[in-house]
Structure 1
Amino acid sequence: MTLRLLSIALAGLAAGAVVANAPPAPAPTTDARGIVRLLDAQGFAAIHELERRYGLWTAEGTTPNGRPVYLLVDGARLVVDVVGEAGQGGLTIEELRRLLTAAGYRDLREFEFDEGLWEVEAINRAGVRVELLVHAVSGRVVSETPYGRPPANAGFLTAYEVGARLVSLGYTYVRVIKFDDGKWEVEARHPAGHRVEIYVDARSGAILREWREDGPGAGGPFLTAAEVTARLAALGYTQINPLKIDDGKWEVLARHPRGHRVELYVDARTGVILHEERD
């Protein structure tokens, strides 16, 4: 009996030693260094554009096999969601439409994928037209703001102030279109005379990005209008009218498979639909 009790005690001590020597579970992390360590431990590389917004961390990086992806990180739960550059691996527009409709939103339009999040214009339960930012994998609404204008008392420049700044820089025919994710989207004529689209930082007024409203150059790496038409026709769209290429996207008017008219933005290299809205 004594030997048996001793054996049990030794076995218990051995088991305790195994538990004591086991590596501790990763602790939740909320700082940038911890997020980078988490992503590195999971094999992601070339991590950049890391920022915390809307209650989660977003970043760009590459998978272990070198594929560029967007990364959505919940540091508290140590969950990393991975989405391809054109939304691969996340919710489709139709799946997103069903989820948001079930959540009480209606008149959904202007679906646009941007850096791991879906931007959607909708009317909420209160009847207010809003712009939603939706997690591309979970479908969770991470931000809801009145459409086309910044949240009140958030320190953003008004549309008038942005327009005045651009005029002072020599731009003409300035048209401030809408506020979107901390940026004002503007169309204008450049001081050199050509038409441009501009993203302006809504806090500082700095020009973040500017591009000409031009088509592709001869021999460029873009799909032709005929190729875009063929791809959309294969998806069931009809009356397809590719208009122009703008910032690497084909702008297309077409009739949706369900019968209503839509405006589409199609990746000019891959043919993936990035943005869809009722016309």
Structure 2
Amino acid sequence: MHAIKPLLLALALAGATALPAAAAEAPAEGPVTGGAPDALLRFDEAGYFAVYDLTLAHGYWTAEATSAAGARVDLVLDAATGALHATGGTGAAAPLTAATVRQRLEAAGYSAIRDLEFDDGFWEADARNPAGRRVELRIHGWTGAIVEERVEGGPVAGGLSAAQILERLAAAGYRNIRNLEFDDGYWEADATNAAGVRVELRIDPVTGEVVHEERD
């Protein structure tokens, strides 16, 4: 077992909508560029084992694991910076409280905030954004960065066609793409990724970016 390396850096994903900044934490270990194997190595080096349910979404690797002390934890690894956060466990920084998240959302101009709950290292909520639209939010549990804002039931302006989505996936290294369909605001598909692993994908309908990749 490798020694535990503290990897607690409160930085938002580049381009994510950030709420008022939290206190600075330790330096990052660098970007996670090697996909799932690199993410698993980071978890191992930080002293976590029995990792399962490894998922990439919105630039963050998430998983459940066991800490060196034997506690079950949820892990959130920023692919852009290498910052690692964990729920529970000895020495782990606690995520933001619901009250703090609500205060930060209100300070950022959101209102009518409801259904605020913590799940897999992220806070989720329904709210009305500063433009007055009802949106669904996904918020980093430690940094307070909004990593996803989706308009409830809104049209997809400037969305890509199915053919264009297939082209974007192929260009990104995916193959054997099947079951492509539009559901609940996203394109979804089954495919084989560049590492040869069968995965389920969720794709942004406007940019064509894969925002969620999960082992099939």
Please state which band the TM-score falls in when normalised by the shorter chain.
0.5 to 0.7
Residue 29 (structure 1) aligned with residue 63 (structure 2): no
1:61 corresponds, among 56, 60, 65, to: 65
Q: Deviations over 1:43-91 (max 9, x none)?
A: 0111111111011111111111111111110133221011249xx9211
Q: Is the 8 A contact 2:59 2:80 kept in 1?
A: no
Q: Flag structure 1 segments of 5+ consecutive residues without an equivalent.
A: 1-24, 160-181, 183-279
- After TM superposition, the structure 1 = structure 2 runs for residues 122-161 of structure 1, keeping only pairs within 5 Å, are 122-147=127-152, 149=153, 152=156, 153=159, 155-157=181-183
CA shift for structure 1 position 131: 0.5
Secondary structure of the equivalent of 1:138? coil
Q: Distance in 1 between matches of 2:125 and 2:183?
A: 23
Change (3 A) 1:146 1:46: same
CA shift for structure 1 position 114: 1.5
Cα root mean square deviation, aligned:
2.6
Q: Flag structure 2 segments of 5+ consecutive residues without an equivalent.
A: 1-27, 161-180, 186-201, 203-216
Q: Distance in 2 between matches of 1:143 and 1:108?
A: 15
CA shift for structure 1 position 139: 0.8
Q: Distance in 1 between matches of 2:122 and 2:60?
A: 11
Partner of 2:97: 92
* Structure ranking higher on relative contact order (CA contacts 8 Å, 6+ apart): 2
In structure 1, give the amino acid aligned to 2:63.
A
Residue 112 (structure 1) aligned with residue 111 (structure 2): no
CA shift for structure 1 position 113: 1.5
Q: Distance in 2 between matches of 1:69 and 1:124?
A: 32
Q: Is the 8 A contact 2:59 2:79 kept in 1?
A: no
| Seq. identity, % | 37
Change (3 A) 1:106 1:27: closer
Secondary structure of the equivalent of 2:130? coil
- After TM superposition, the structure 1 = structure 2 runs for residues 1-279 of structure 1, keeping only pairs within 5 Å, are 28-30=31-33, 31-84=35-88, 89-147=94-152, 149=153, 152=156, 153=159, 155-157=181-183
Q: Is the 8 A contact 1:83 1:137 kept in 2?
A: no
Q: Deviations over 1:88-129 (max 9, x none)?
A: 921111000111111111111111222111110100011001
Larger helix share, 1 or 2: 1
In structure 1, give the amino acid aligned to 2:143.
S
Q: Distance in 2 between matches of 1:61 and 1:120?
A: 25
In structure 2, give the amino acid aligned to 1:48.
Y
In structure 2, give the amino acid aligned to 1:102.
A
Q: Distance in 1 between matches of 2:65 and 2:154?
A: 29
In structure 2, give the amino acid aligned to 1:135.
H
Change (3 A) 1:158 1:109: closer
Q: Is the 8 A contact 2:127 2:135 kept in 1?
A: yes
Q: Distance in 2 between matches of 1:104 and 1:36?
A: 37
In structure 2, give the amino acid aligned to 1:32.
A
Q: Is the radius of gyration larger for structure 1 or structure 2?
A: 1
Q: Distance in 2 between matches of 1:96 and 1:58?
A: 20
